[in-house]
A and B are shown apart, each in its own frame.
Chain A
């Protein structure tokens, strides 16, 4: 390669490397702000601020969903397999909301460590399958591999 071009190539690559490093450092420093939501583990560890609007995410715990008398207030728990957060929400849940589903809730953590949500979004995972396959998996699952679902999240 022509020495002049070689030099130019090195200058460009060096510049790119420098910018990449700067961006990496910036993203690492901002990690907590870029995360969309706090995990139950982070909330249990006290990393999430109280009485400030934040997002919390996790899997809805099987059998934890209960509706209040008025029919609109829903209480449920979410988990990341390590800790559990109780969420209270008044409003219409997304179609995909169900037990075992990942969700992200927007709201505030009160002093009693209950998360009062004003919005609940369903988080879809990367698995796509026809209903029959899902049924077959469900059957296999209920036969004994109880911890498959909780281990996956």
Chain B
């Protein structure tokens, strides 16, 4: 048992193994994710009933909630990758963290923008400095900080370490985002979906939301795998196995 785990751990750290495994996984994630997104979006936008108060403007939830949820999950993944990289010196881990940062930042922007677009007709304002909106903006700045570190520090090892430390320290913001709507008075409403309670949403609105959330996670996986594989190819470009892939022109 122990030796099997140990082998898996060493395999995980091997760029070649990571490259081959994610190449096999990616099409699955891509197709399942695309199918879920297609069904979820069409269902949510065209067939789900309008909300009794907000009317059709609630439908932005099918982009807003997955983007907001995933941008926080992505940050946790980035922080865990940083921790593994710092403690166990696993190079791949740093690569994964580096590739997540711009995607997570994009998702945070998406969540903030869709929230503002929804807030104008619903609340009557694009933006308000309440705890949820502000902590989400801080999340975006943390992502931008990680990206900036990678761009500013030329020494790869130094950049990896500095970015990992920032990712870890910033992870304290994640529970603050999550509980901001409970700890403080905010304009933003409390969570509709919780793990412990029944969703406070009609099922015919809720199911397409779940589909788009899972779809977002699948697409995210595909994207992170692809970016990581690119980075691996570049870093390992002088090794035999990469040379072989490049010369045969195989795409995995």
Interface residue ranges, A against B (CB under 8 Å): 5, 8-9, 12, 16, 19-20, 23, 27, 31, 34-39, 57, 94-96, 101, 104, 119-135
Q: Which residues of B contact A34 (CB under 8 A)?
A: 131, 184
Q: Is the interface of A mostly helix, strand, loop or mixed?
A: mixed
Q: Is the interface of B mostly helix, strand, loop or mixed?
A: loop
Q: Choose one: B50, B185, B201; the contact of A131 (CB below 8 Å).
A: B50
Q: Quick one: which of B52, B128, B176, B183 has the most chain A CB within 10 A? A: B52
Complex Cα gap A135–B53 (Å): 11
Beyond A126-B191, A134-B52, is A121–B125 a contact (Cβ under 8 Å)?
yes
Q: Are A128 and B172 in contact (CB under 8 A)?
A: no
Q: Are A131 and B189 in contact (CB under 8 A)?
A: no
Complex Cα gap A19–B124 (Å): 37
Interface residue ranges, B against A (CB under 8 Å): 49-54, 58, 61, 83, 86-88, 121-125, 128-131, 168-169, 171-172, 176, 183-187, 189-192, 200-202, 204-206
Q: Choose one: B58, B185, B190; the contact of A39 (CB below 8 Å).
A: B185
Q: Are A96 and B130 in contact (CB under 8 A)?
A: no
Complex Cα gap A19–B168 (Å): 10
Q: Choose one: B58, B121, B124, B171; the contact of A128 (CB below 8 Å).
A: B58
Beyond A19-B169, A121-B187, is A94–B123 a contact (Cβ under 8 Å)?
yes
Beyond A31-B184, A124-B122, is A133–B52 a contact (Cβ under 8 Å)?
yes
Complex Cα gap A12–B80 (Å): 12
Complex Cα gap A95–B125 (Å): 12
Closest to B186 in A: A36
Complex Cα gap A101–B54 (Å): 12
Q: Which residues of B contact A16 (CB under 8 A)?
A: 168-169, 171-172
Closest to B135 in A: A34
Q: Are A122 and B50 in contact (CB under 8 A)?
A: no
Q: Which residues of B contact A133 (CB under 8 A)?
A: 52, 202
Q: Are A126 and B51 in contact (CB under 8 A)?
A: no
Q: Are A130 and B176 in contact (CB under 8 A)?
A: no
Q: Are A121 and B124 in contact (CB under 8 A)?
A: yes
Q: Which residues of B contact A19 (CB under 8 A)?
A: 169, 172
Q: Choose one: A9, A36, A123, A132; the contact of B184 (CB below 8 Å).
A: A36
Q: Are B124 and A94 in contact (CB under 8 A)?
A: yes
Beyond A96-B53, A122-B124, A129-B51, is A104–B87 a contact (Cβ under 8 Å)?
no
Q: Are B52 and A36 in contact (CB under 8 A)?
A: no
Beyond A122-B122, A122-B124, is A128–B51 a contact (Cβ under 8 Å)?
yes
Closest to A9 in B: B87
Closest to A135 in B: B52
Complex Cα gap A96–B205 (Å): 20
Complex Cα gap A19–B206 (Å): 37
Q: Which residues of A contact B88 (CB under 8 A)?
A: 5
Q: Are A123 and B49 in contact (CB under 8 A)?
A: no
Q: Which residues of A contact B186 (CB under 8 A)?
A: 36
Q: Which residues of B contact A57 (CB under 8 A)?
A: 185
Q: Which residues of B contact A9 (CB under 8 A)?
A: 83, 87
Q: Which residues of B contact A5 (CB under 8 A)?
A: 87-88
